[in-house]
């Protein structure tokens, strides 16, 4: 059985027209599928209205108890349930989840070293039991995960949505022929970040090393791609990084975005 | 297979110690089980902080679009996911849901007559497909419903939690030997509302008529009991109305609260 694990970024969620188009395309994908969504601006806006100051350390949000309340409300409530209702309107049998539900994703609160990130959960290959999620997929449901997990002792935790998507893909690759798809507002991995026509269509581990040597891929894209190749090394068939507007191409067997694979 | 559908009221949710005790007892119940929870004060408090004025008509909350956002965040996000995480900590495999998830409860937006209740959903016996929910129960999950539904066209709706509990019990009574349990902060149906010792332990349709004639049951309790006897007439085995602190008695085959049954 083929499975697509699709991550949708916050910039798409913030635009209701883009989100609606994306969800229609997602609903149209054949086979098993899982959606993972990030947060968007709604959490930042609600925090501002409630006078909770957003704290960032090294570009990462520090999740104090008030911020955890806000992201639980916005990610697991407002955004997740509106996405589920929109998918249901297209006859996609979505079921909205956090990692606490069904104990699907058990995280560990990040240890305090130099920085206390607060209520942030880290996950690894042991955090997810694929048989547990397979019960939903085999039952005809389409799991929609928000970026909230738990620690198993009653504590909810804020967890990076990209990491959740890749951990789900790696865990489910034990059961299904799994493709991991990151949808965002760019065409994919670009040779020139300012030129959408400079898309790199395929990368395998050998070309990846060359692109890094030549400094064509650098900066913020490196951890994303390292993570993607690590998922492939752990059994995920391919990783696609592409524009949310082009997800529908998959249904018509057309390629889109940048496709990462073993190259074999 | 025996199934308990348990509704927990807002007054219990507002007290974390009472809620924790209740959830421990709920987790300990044998057989299949479903939890339905109301809202509590958190939605009212968040509305106040966001300067959204609560509107009540005939004691019912009018749900404008801003209020719908708040209840979606608080009921489906904050309260639901914290209850799920707490149940998971006791090894109860809870999965938190709205009626939109899995299309489990499809409601109809209440028609505007003299009053426009806004985004409020009404449900009936056709709103719930029990086979759909049975997939979760048979898969070992414990569904935890917040009082949010959808209309099937992408619109979330605010729906009374008592009504959700009785509609779920009636639908699931087609598949399971179903008991509906309303837990709140009183011992049950009382002869004298100021005397917790005046509990009426059993009511059947005949004694119910007599209690009404004698004006022993009157006012706000009437619609609750009418609704309960209607559920029994539709196949629910029994309805128990009792104190949240006494739910654990069921596990030890002790009676608690007021038990409504056909009397046969």
Please answer whether residues A97 and A77 qualify as being in contact, where contact means their C-beta atoms are separated by less than 8 angstroms.
Answer: no
pLDDT of A20-62, one tens digit each?
999 999 999 999 999 999 887 888 899 989 999 877 777 666 8
pLDDT average, residue stretch A215-221: 84
- pLDDT on residue A219: 81
Q: In the prediction, which pLDDT does A31 show? A: 95
Domains, chain B, in order of start with CATH, read 2-260 (3.40.1160.10)
- Report the pLDDT value the prediction gives residue A142, as an integer from 0 to 100: 98
* Confidence at residue B10, expressed as pLDDT on a 0 to 100 scale: 80
The pLDDT value given to residue A211: 94
pLDDT, average across residues A168-174: 97
- The pLDDT mean for chain B works out to 93
What residues in chain B have per-residue pLDDT under 70?
59-61
CA A42 to chain centre: 17
B129 interfacial to chain A (CB closer than 8 Å): no
Rounded Cα gap, residues B38 and B7, in angstroms: 8
Instruction: Give residue-wise pLDDT tens across range B210-247.
Output: 999 999 988 878 888 998 999 999 999 999 999 999 99
Using the beta-carbon criterion (under 8 Å), do B82 and A72 form an inter-chain contact?
Answer: yes
pLDDT at residue A240 in the model: 97
pTM of the model as a whole = 0.96
Three-state DSSP at B94 gives strand
Q: How many CB pairs under 8 A join A and B?
A: 123
CA distance readout (Å), A108 to A73, A105, A114, A121, A123 = 21, 10, 17, 5, 6
Q: Write out pLDDT tens, residues A225-234.
A: 998 999 999 9
pLDDT score of A256: 94
The C-alpha atoms of residue B135 and residue B103 are separated, in whole angstroms, by 13
pLDDT (mean) for A193-201: 91
pLDDT at A206: 94
pLDDT band at A263 (very low <50, low <70, confident <90, very high): confident
Which residues of chain B neighbour A72 with C-beta distances below 8 Å? 77-78, 81-82
Q: Check residue A254 and give its pLDDT.
A: 86
The complex's ipTM works out to 0.95
Handedness of CA A185, A188, A190, A195 (dihedral sign): negative
Q: What is the pLDDT of residue B199?
A: 95
Mutate to test the interface with B, among A27, A71, A75, A77 (most CBs of B within 10 A): A77
Q: Do A150 and B85 touch (CB under 8 A)?
A: yes
Cβ neighbour number for residue A163 with a 10 Å cutoff: 21
- Which chain A residue's Cα is nearest to B155? A85
Q: Is B93 on the interface with A (CB under 8 A)?
A: yes
* C-alpha atoms less than 13 angstroms from C-alpha of B84 in its C-beta half-sphere: 36
* pLDDT at residue A119 is higher than 80: yes
């Amino acid at each position: 059985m083929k499975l697509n694990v699709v991550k949708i970024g916050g910039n798409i969620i913030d635009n209701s027209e883009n989100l609606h188009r994306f969800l229609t395309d997602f609903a149209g994908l054949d086979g098993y599928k899982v959606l993972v969504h990030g947060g968007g601006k709604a959490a930042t806006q609600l925090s501002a209205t409630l006078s909770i100051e957003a704290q960032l350390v090294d570009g990462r949000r520090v999740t104090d108890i008030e911020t955890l309340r806000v992201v639980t409300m916005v990610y697991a409530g407002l955004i997740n349930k509106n996405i589920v209702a929109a998918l249901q309107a297209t006859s996609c049998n979505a079921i909205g989840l956090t990692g606490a539900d069904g104990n699907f994703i058990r995280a560990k609160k990040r240890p305090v070293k130099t920085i206390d990130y607060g209520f942030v959960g880290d996950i690894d290959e042991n955090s997810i039991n694929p048989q547990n999620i397979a019960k939903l997929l085999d039952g005809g449901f389409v799991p929609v995960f928000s970026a909230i997990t738990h620690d198993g002792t009653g504590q909810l935790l804020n967890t990076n949505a990209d990491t959740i998507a890749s951990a789900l893909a790696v865990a489910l690759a034990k059961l299904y022929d799994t493709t991991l798809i990151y949808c965002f507002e760019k065409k994919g991995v670009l040779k020139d970040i300012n030129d959408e026509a400079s898309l790199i269509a395929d990368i395998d581990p050998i070309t990846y090393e060359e692109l890094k040597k030549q400094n064509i891929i650098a900066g913020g894209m490196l951890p994303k791609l390292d993570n993607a190749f690590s998922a492939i090394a752990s059994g995920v068939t391919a990783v696609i990084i592409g524009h949310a507007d082009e997800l529908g191409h998959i249904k018509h067997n057309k390629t889109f975005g940048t496709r990462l694979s073993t190259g074999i």
